[in-house]
Amino acid sequence: MTSETQTLRGLIEKRGAHLKVEGEITACAATRDNSRFAFTTGEGDVVVVHREDQLTPEAWNTYAVHDGPALCLSADTLPDCFLTGGDDGRLCRLDPSGEIEELGKGRRWVEHITTYVDAKSAVIAAAAGKNVELRDATGRTVTRTLEHPTTVGGIVFDPKGKRIAVSHYNGVSVWFTQSKDGKPRQLEWKGSHLDIAMHPAGDAVVTAMQDNDLHGWRLADGHNMRMSGYPTKVRSLSFSKNGKWLATSGADIVVMWPFFGGGPMGKPPMELPGAGGALCTRVAFHPEQEVVAAGFADGTVVMMEPSTQRVLPVSLGKAGAITALAYSPDGCTLGFGTEEGVIGVVDLAAA
């Protein structure tokens, strides 16, 4: 960590804290039990913030996990641990004591990790190159390897963990997670498909494309949905908990596609306020409320309520473009990170 700090205004002044570290922040996430928040860096480090210390940056811990950039981060299947992947080909678990366990190592970068947990089962998915490995709850056993024609762009489980959707060139492959073999359902659309999101009801999947568009499929019948008009590539997608809205980056406002009343096809998107012309770079819906957080290229972070379009400034200041943004599962903590290595945590419990 460095002693250099930025002057940030907004909610973070009263209810948050921030710190500058070495390297770009590549991802952020909270543990399933909400006890800790983590940030991965381009230097391969993981910065961990315990909830009881979230307003005390001197108490935040940094662990050297990867040899080279840490590329992805996820809450683990274990309630108080994190999973990370790096360009060193390693899939790692970081426990509360700071112990690092290497769960796997390959020749390809580990670029995507996601997990699913319910009362009966747990599964870890990690993507490297063209393949997605499904692992058991321990993370130590690969139960199945899903192979794709090109490099994986994104992965997401459906709400019940029965299927996993994988984006890649020319479309999406949808696999049944419990099947030991069998081929995936192919959702085809020409072009490069990157980030991916699943509707909370499990009835639609949407991808961000290389050519500044979104593409979606209705899973009941495979009907295509195209959402276009962006000035730049969309790098962040987030559905509201009730599935009513899909928030996206990629413009100088927050673009909100309606997934109700027959939308999004034939329906114009709602446009929530921006940050003075700066591009929106990250979006994240609150896990319980219809409130969306948005980060911008000038370092601005805001929270907005679609129904009223009220805006709450979370962080204002020249901290670098927002590259990571996430809520804790209980919605009581919002974390963000920037390309200049600034990490911020805001306590929303009494906001």
Q: What is the pLDDT of residue 129?
A: 97
Q: What is the pLDDT of residue 351?
A: 55
Percentage above 70 pLDDT, the chain: 98
Q: What is the pLDDT of residue 26?
A: 98
Tokens of residue 297, six digits = 């290229």
CATH pick for 228-350 out of 3.40.190.10, 3.40.50.720, 2.130.10.10, 3.40.50.2000? 2.130.10.10
Task: Specify whether the CB–CB gap between 135 and 146 falls below 8 A.
Answer: no
Q: What is the pLDDT of residue 107?
A: 94
CA atoms within 13 A on the CB side of 237: 28
Q: What is the pLDDT of residue 6?
A: 63
Phi, psi for 181 (deg, rounded to 5): -145, -155
Owner of token pair 């040899």:
67
Strand 292-296 to 322-327 pairing: unpaired
Q: What is the pLDDT of residue 285?
A: 98
Whether residue 1 is predicted with pLDDT greater than 60 in this model: the reply is no
Alpha-carbon distance of 194 to 45, in angstroms, equals 25
| Neighbour tally for 327: CB within 10 Å | 27
Q: What is the pLDDT of residue 179?
A: 86
* 3-state class (DSSP) for residue 107: coil
Q: DSSP assignment, residue 38?
A: E
Whether residue 171 is predicted with pLDDT greater than 80 in this model: the reply is yes
Average pLDDT, the chain: 96
Tokens of residue 255, six digits = 């673009």
Q: What is the pLDDT of residue 269?
A: 96
In CATH, what class is 19-146? mainly beta
Which residue intervals of 70-214 are DSSP H helices? none
Alpha-carbon distance of 22 to 25, in angstroms, equals 9
Whether residue 4 is predicted with pLDDT greater than 50 in this model: the reply is no
Q: What is the mean pLDDT of residues 243-252?
A: 98
Q: What is the mean pLDDT of residues 193-215?
A: 97
Please give the model's pTM, rounded to 2 decimal places. Answer: 0.96
Q: What one-character-per-residue DSSP string does 40-88 give?
A: EETTSEEEEEEGGGTT-GGG-EEEE--SS-EEEEEE-SSTT-EEEEETT
Q: How confident is the model at residue 3 (pLDDT cuts 50, 70, 90)?
A: very low
| Neighbour tally for 131: CB within 10 Å | 16
Q: What is the pLDDT of residue 180?
A: 81
Q: How confident is the model at residue 58 (pLDDT cuts 50, 70, 90)?
A: very high
Percentage above 90 pLDDT, the chain: 93
pLDDT tens profile 70-100: 999 999 999 999 999 999 999 999 999 999 9
Owner of token pair 């699913």:
116
Tokens of residue 7, six digits = 């002057």
Q: Which of 23-32, 177-186, 270-279 has the highest mean pLDDT?
A: 23-32
46-60, 138-152, 172-186, 203-217: which has the minimum mean pLDDT? 172-186
Task: Specify whether the CB–CB gap between 144 and 185 falls below 8 A.
Answer: no
Tokens of residue 112, six digits = 């995507």
Whether residue 43 is predicted with pLDDT greater than 60 in this model: the reply is yes
CA atoms within 13 A on the CB side of 54: 26
**Range(s) of the chain covered by CATH 2.130.10.10:** 19-146, 228-350
Q: What is the pLDDT of residue 263?
A: 87
- Whole-angstrom Cα Rg for the chain: 19
